[in-house]
Amino acid sequence: MRKMLAVLLSLLVSVTCYGDAPQRGLDIVDVSFMSLTPAAVRLLEARERGDKEIVLNFDSPGGDIKAMFAFAALMRHVELGGTKVVCVVHGMAASAGLFLLQMCDERIGVEGSIYLAHEVSVAEAGGKPADLEKTAKMMRDLTHTMMVQMAARMLIPVEELERRTHDTDYWFDYREALKIGAIDRVMTRAEAMKYGIVAPKEEYPPAL
């Protein structure tokens, strides 16, 4: 089980295990199958040791949907083992990153953080018209699945989330994230620095 889960995963996070004091974790650059094996092992080790808490520091533009679902499954595995997964967004939680944020036990947004929800997309699609139709249906089904799971943690119904993301990118900042229930609370930049988190400047990211 451990080897299987460790191979499946990836997202743009820093993984920090908290004991008496914060410890520097792992920096991962995207949501792909290539980059999170070390982080996956850390999560599994936290469960096996019976750690009370593990923290994921997000600055994620998103990435591969299969890796996203695999990492979400690992997070649930760790949470069910009794280890609380806390997620701190100190930069961006976009696309797959936003989905994974909603799978966390506790969701924290640092001042200046930004968020993005949108429908599932693919970089390339080819084949016969029937193949394209199948791909489009699969994308619609996956989008609905994602929206249902995300809205389950939010303060807006899935119908509203789907309306805001239909054929467009739904960008929002940490203030709106708190209002719609995409995060549980806001952390100031001063508080973030105490944990070794480099928080964005107030003017970052640029105006949407």
- Residue 191, token pair as written in the block: 């508080």
Query: Nearest-CA neighbor of 199 among 95, 58, 97, 87?
Result: 58
What's 123's DSSP letter?
Answer: S
- What tokens were used for 10? 């990836």
Contact 30, 46 (CB under 8 A): no
95 tagged catalytic: yes
The DSSP secondary structure of 56-121, one letter per residue, reads EEEEE--B-HHHHHHHHHHHHHHHHTT-EEEEEEEEEEETHHHHHHHTSSEEEEETT-EEEE----
Please provide residue 67's backbone torsions phi and psi, each rounded to the nearest 5 degrees. -65, -35
Catalytic residue among 10, 60, 95, 113: 95
Pick the catalytic residue from 10, 60, 113, 118.
118
Q: CA 113, CA 115: separation in Å to the nearest integer?
A: 7
Contact 92, 75 (CB under 8 A): no
Separation of alpha carbons 198 and 189, rounded Å = 8
Positions annotated as catalytic residues are 95, 118
